[in-house]
Amino acid sequence: MNDPYLNAQSQLRSVAKLIKADEEIINKLSIPDKLLTLSLPVRMDNGSIRTFIAYRSQHNNSRGPYKGGIRYHHLVNEAEVKALSMWMSWKCAIADIPYGGGKGGIIVDPRELSAAELERLSRAYVRAIAHDIGPDLDVPAPDVNTTPQIMDWMLDEYIKVSGNKSKATFTGKSVDNGGSLGRTEATGYGGVYVMEELLKAEKVKKDNLTIAIQGIGNVGYYFASLAHKNGHKIVAISDSKGGIYNAKGIDPKLALEFKQKEGRLSGMEGTKIIGNEQLLELKVDVLVPSALENVINADNADKIKARYIIEMANGPITPEADEILFSKKILSVPDVLANSGGVTVSYFEWYQNIHNEKWSKEEVLKKLKDNITRAFKQTYSKRKELGVNMRMAAYALAVAKVIEAFKKQEL
């Protein structure tokens, strides 16, 4: 199995050569500033006490407070949170928002817990990290299997423990509790803004453009929804159990309604059942991996037939696959740029909380579109300048920004 942290370090070393970065600084940036490993005793509904292992990785804060989600998943591990915190540093730098990278997680299958147990676990996590977070220190957010409700519990516990009443310590909260309008759609919509800017730059006509999307969670669904609304043809969509295909196009709203009713996508009227591997290898214009890490790797990269890839999942392509795709002239927009809409709107939420403002959804999405298209143009231009793939171009811009900020700090 690919180690995401080794992948992240490998990418950093590659970009260091490209930008001729100081080796001592790269050594520093290849390791998180701080890693919290926690054991959380939580009382279960039956009166027993169960102990959960949890993490918070704080990668680098040269450009601002650490920023990153908290995931609840049975496969959470140290390597994953360290890698994701590093990628968050680059993502914030590319998006040009004043944050560094952080990431957290608890090893748990949340489906096994009652709502009351989930709340007690969430509050236990906050008590354990309370001294290491805050509006100017580390600003957590939702991630896999965490929700606005969980952020609300966490904020409430943080206020109790710290006495700091600022709502800006957590983002991704419910709208009634200081959350931002537009946050739910932000990551998926941001990916579509990036895709449309790419098509413009590549002079691709959008008539009959075909898209395959792996994953119909929050990110995949909102990507599909806006792409469909903007006239693009979604020919394939999948969930963890498999996918569906229709050459004439699929309405994502109807697909989601079917999945919610039946618990799966397969069997939807007018569609053909396909596997997740098949979906990745379809001959489409745009492939959108928006589910898991490492789905495009050395074993299947040569079978990818899409012209363009928009990486909406974190780390969906391994470094070995990157080289194969580049040699095939497949242009992939990296995760740190393509899915930066979420963290960008998280920043907007933090800003609104600090300044006691409330922006309309239209204002939020307009600011997001302006921000992410500017970041895309800079990266696309850097790619041409350096003659590298989009990931290396994005990293070259991001790592240089972090190094510049790091050098300004007194050591």
Where do the DSSP E strands lie in 61-152? Answer: 66-73, 100-107, 138-142
Token pair in block for residue 144: 């896999």
Token pair in block for residue 179: 């959350």
CA–CA dist 6, 52 (Å, integer) = 25
b/e per residue, 236-245, with b = 16+ CB within 10 A? bbbbeebbbb
pLDDT at 98 over 90: yes
Q: In the chain, count of helices (H) and strands (E)?
A: 14, 12
- The percent of residues above 90 in pLDDT, for the chain, comes to 91
Q: What are phi and psi of 38, to 5 degrees?
A: -125, 150
pLDDT at 59 over 80: yes
Question: Between β-strands 34-43 and 233-239, what pairing exists: parallel, antiparallel or unpaired?
Answer: unpaired
CB 350 within 8 A of CB 369: no
Average model confidence (pLDDT) across the chain: 95
The pLDDT value given to residue 11 = 87
Domain ranges in the chain with CATH number 3.40.50.10860: 33-169
CA–CA dist 125, 7 (Å, integer) = 28
Q: Which residues pair with 244 in a beta bridge?
A: 237, 273
The pLDDT value given to residue 206 = 79
- The percent of residues above 70 in pLDDT, for the chain, comes to 99
Q: Using CA of residue 215, residue 217, residue 219, residue 220, what is the dihedral sign?
A: positive
**How much is the average pLDDT of 183-193?**
96
pLDDT at 158 over 70: yes
The pLDDT value given to residue 315 = 83
**How much is the average pLDDT of 201-222?**
93
The one-letter amino acid code at 237 reads I
Positions annotated as catalytic residues are 103
CA–CA dist 333, 13 (Å, integer) = 20
321 sits in which H/E element: helix 319-327
**How much is the average pLDDT of 168-175?**
97
The pLDDT value given to residue 3 = 87
pLDDT tens digits along 316-350: 998 899 999 999 999 999 999 999 999 999 999 99
* Topology (CATH) of 33-169: Rossmann fold (3.40.50)
pLDDT-derived band at 399, boundaries 50, 70, 90? very high
Q: What is the DSSP letter of 288?
A: E
pLDDT tens digits along 224-245: 999 999 999 999 999 989 999 9
CA angle 372, 376, 382 (to 5 degrees): 145
How many other CB atoms sit within 10 Å of the CB of residue 262?
Answer: 11
pLDDT tens digits along 111-120: 999 999 999 9
pLDDT at 160 over 60: yes
**How much is the average pLDDT of 32-43?**
98
Q: What are phi and psi of 145, to 5 degrees?
A: 65, 15
pLDDT-derived band at 411, boundaries 50, 70, 90? low
pLDDT tens digits along 127-140: 999 999 999 999 99
CA–CA dist 40, 53 (Å, integer) = 6
* Topology (CATH) of 184-338: Rossmann fold (3.40.50)
The pLDDT value given to residue 314 = 84
Domain ranges in the chain with CATH number 3.40.50.720: 184-338
b/e per residue, 130-150, with b = 16+ CB within 10 A? beebbbeebbbbbbbbbbbbb
pLDDT-derived band at 410, boundaries 50, 70, 90? low
pLDDT tens digits along 254-308: 999 999 999 999 999 999 999 999 999 999 999 999 988 889 999 999 999 999 9
